[in-house]
Structure 1
């Protein structure tokens, strides 16, 4: 029965607004229109037209004709550069469109019509700016560090005069005007120079990504990124089913995608509200949990994830923001139900439920919250302001305790499940009081702290 239920769960599908959602590319038809594509098409035993996905020339020609046939874009890249698939990249564009249309995060200037995006590592292919501009009329800055990428991205932009005014290509790390960025949502705010300790220990040490590339006073609706997924070119070549090319700059960085996206998080802590949404593609699902934990630790107001499915390829998307969400829209349309419960599994033998309860009390008390531990019912009653909850993520929280007002009263209870497993559950003690973003972030931080302290690691060989 369990396996049957699994099979009945719908798989994530191509985005419904994707041009290819109802009608995938017809290779035979395209070959009849484009003689240059015909040599790459062959027919399987069932009579279906196919191409060899391990042939770089075949995938490049397919991308070229799809961009021309369906989007009116002239495009080319030299040998060895990363060749993107058009349907997959379109999924990412439409997901960002969903985020912007939802208005979860308001625009700093509601009267501004043009959406403005920033493509991190646009590559020679410049695929995201070209698609975003042609499909939706968005403006873009595309950045890269490699001279060949800059040269060919500019060629691809100039080859499309109908949208060339919408796209700027920028060399990362060479503009002296790229420094500090003011927060358009808070006239009195200063740029945070101290990066949270949660993102210091990852090992990206390459060229600037966002901070140092975004110019003074610039604001964007979003950034997007197809990060270097791998730690080495050997690792990048492990998939024998595809051959989409890719240079070392495009495919590899020390620490792989986890380190690269962690640096984007680090930059977002500094740039804060210069972007409504920070987003990135993720190649490995296992990294989503790690990255989400990092984001909660640095105090983002919202995190969204999705899955991109195209044929046999799965990628994931992660998005976050520091801008306060619009509460009315959050509560009625797009909010996910706040999760104020988690399991502690694999509890160490020397640890008891009472030890966990005491740690919960200490966790909130250190930020200045009022706590009352009830041993008989295994719960802690807590009264805390949003300042107290925000202070959990700040080293200098004690200096701001007098500013606390409008306390939130909630209870955290600990329940025994099975031996070695506890349920930690939070509940508000005030009727009709919404769960604040600060409380949700603090609760998620509590989960990380308690699991690190009390739970045995299942597989010590896996990275955290």
Structure 2
């Protein structure tokens, strides 16, 4: 299942990029995009050259950033990095409100990126989206630093992004202390640490490959680490063995210094927590992205213990969902009164099974074929429900509908039919009566009809208001997030609108017609832009009543 629907609400990649259009616009990307015999766009996510060019093209198209990525260094996935940046934007927004409430206006936001990488992708995107941000980018690898400086200079952001080489033993703390001594207030710290503890050997992977290959569920192209020969690894669990195989991929080009650290990401972030207890409010908000859910559990336990001791004031956790990959985020603060628990977070929801209806073989409404059932459903949507907002896609084995509506036109169908029948009968009876009686009766009927129409109108208005209220209540948080996104976008260095504004619907559902042996099956699922799932259940019942 794709997790794009659970991306951050302001992430533009919730709407999948059009690779075909990108290939037309960017000649350097075109060689990596092809079409199969059915005309479908094909992109090889296992080709490191294709992935590198994809990252370069997305950064240019959506952020007007020019970057170069060395062939032997990690290729950052843009949607994932943007998810983290947007989470940090929400943290900074909360911080600004807190400081403003205490009479301190923030004119410049200073961030520290620990382990910035060859692309310096976090500082580049962060400064592009927020003109009041500046960064200190830290790394330990001279080759990586050289590449990062080149990319920063290439985009003329060197006045706002400073790259510093730090000592692997002492870490970032001395740099923060020096900045504080110079009178600089650091508003946030972010990091995407390596999460491998070992250099995995090819021999061990070959032994384990047969056991775990069938369990691989994440896209290899999304993994940001690689495996190098070295000491024989000690796997703590099957999950570690799975990750080892996934990272042995031609799409992974990172070096051990980028992907492996002693003790893994838990020890790496634990040291940042220890440093934060010493640095205190020299950094107002600390944060990290994590590659393992088990790491989040361990680090939450550490932070909770410090909260109980009164050393850490508050913390918040979130999920970064993109493609077939999920990462986790954690942030904490030692600033008294700053409550990070109020920051909006994202979380993937396990999808519910579809609603399934097995059509009876002896149908009277249409022939017992997939095409006939599809035509019957289209007729019901257009003629009975007066609903035109649907798309139909036909494949070799199934027909798929995507149905959307802002108003409820499928409920109370029986009541509507009864009212129509009653009106027709009243009109027929009135025509058989004498003129005077007919006039009197007709006047009375008109009054009654007017009252009924008023009742129907009131009911419709009430229903519509209910739908509008439901939309407002369900999407109110989304609207506030979009308002914040609009505020942030106004501060962008470029004029392009980076926000994909999604429209919410009372009904957003998929309907699939397929055959299971001799039986025709209808499956319906609520999709991500629906304000609730009840509408799907109601429409499902409507089809059951009318497909017989």
TM-score scaled by length of structure 2:
0.50
SS at match of 1:70: helix
1:19 aligns with 2:12: yes
8 A Cα contact 2:194 2:259, kept in partner: yes
Partner of 2:523: none
SS at match of 1:113: coil
Following TM superposition, by how much is the alpha carbon of 1:324 offset from its aligned partner in structure 2, in angstroms? 0.9
SS at match of 1:133: helix
Partner of 1:121: 115
- The more displaced of 149-158 and 164-173 is 164-173
Following TM superposition, by how much is the alpha carbon of 1:44 offset from its aligned partner in structure 2, in angstroms? 4.9
1:438-449 matched pairs, under 5 angstroms: none
8 A Cα contact 2:188 2:286, kept in partner: yes
Following TM superposition, by how much is the alpha carbon of 1:242 offset from its aligned partner in structure 2, in angstroms? 7.2
Match of 2:193 among 206, 216, 227: 227
* Alpha-carbon displacement from aligned partner over 1:1-31 (angstroms, at most 9, x marks no partner): xxxxxx9xx997111111222x221111111
SS at match of 2:175: coil
SS at match of 1:84: coil
Partner of 2:28: 36
Query: Greater relative contact order (Cα 8 A, min sep 6): structure 1 or 2?
Result: 2
1:292 aligns with 2:284: no
Partner of 1:268: 276
Q: Which runs of 5+ in 1 are unaligned?
A: 1-6, 174-205, 337-464
Following TM superposition, by how much is the alpha carbon of 1:267 offset from its aligned partner in structure 2, in angstroms? 1.1
Question: How far apart, CA to CA, are the structure 2 residues paired with 1:104 and 1:46?
Answer: 52
Q: Cα RMSD between the aligned structures?
A: 2.6
8 A Cα contact 2:4 2:13, kept in partner: no
Partner of 2:405: none
Distance change >3 Å, CA 268–CA 55, structure 1 → 2 = same
Following TM superposition, by how much is the alpha carbon of 1:70 offset from its aligned partner in structure 2, in angstroms? 1.0
8 A Cα contact 1:105 1:276, kept in partner: no
Partner of 1:81: 73
Distance change >3 Å, CA 29–CA 214, structure 1 → 2 = same
SS at match of 1:324: coil
Match of 2:48 among 56, 67, 74: 56
8 A Cα contact 2:96 2:106, kept in partner: no
SS at match of 1:208: coil
1:95 aligns with 2:87: yes
Question: How far apart, CA to CA, are the structure 2 residues paired with 1:155 and 1:334?
Answer: 35
Question: How far apart, CA to CA, are the structure 2 residues paired with 1:151 and 1:316?
Answer: 29
SS at match of 2:53: helix
1:318 aligns with 2:313: no
Larger radius of gyration: 2
- State the 4+ residue runs in structure 1 displaced beyond 6 angstroms: none
Distance change >3 Å, CA 75–CA 109, structure 1 → 2 = farther
Question: How far apart, CA to CA, are the structure 2 residues paired with 1:293 and 1:135?
Answer: 34
Following TM superposition, by how much is the alpha carbon of 1:210 offset from its aligned partner in structure 2, in angstroms? 2.3
Following TM superposition, by how much is the alpha carbon of 1:207 offset from its aligned partner in structure 2, in angstroms? 2.8
SS at match of 2:316: strand
Count of aligned positions: 291
Following TM superposition, by how much is the alpha carbon of 1:89 offset from its aligned partner in structure 2, in angstroms? 0.4
Partner of 1:345: none
Question: How far apart, CA to CA, are the structure 2 residues paired with 1:288 and 1:18?
Answer: 23
* Alpha-carbon displacement from aligned partner over 1:228-277 (angstroms, at most 9, x marks no partner): 11112328442167724211111001111111111111111111101111
8 A Cα contact 1:284 1:316, kept in partner: yes
Partner of 2:151: 156
Following TM superposition, by how much is the alpha carbon of 1:46 offset from its aligned partner in structure 2, in angstroms? 5.7
1:251 aligns with 2:271: no
Greater helix share, structure number: 2
SS at match of 2:317: strand
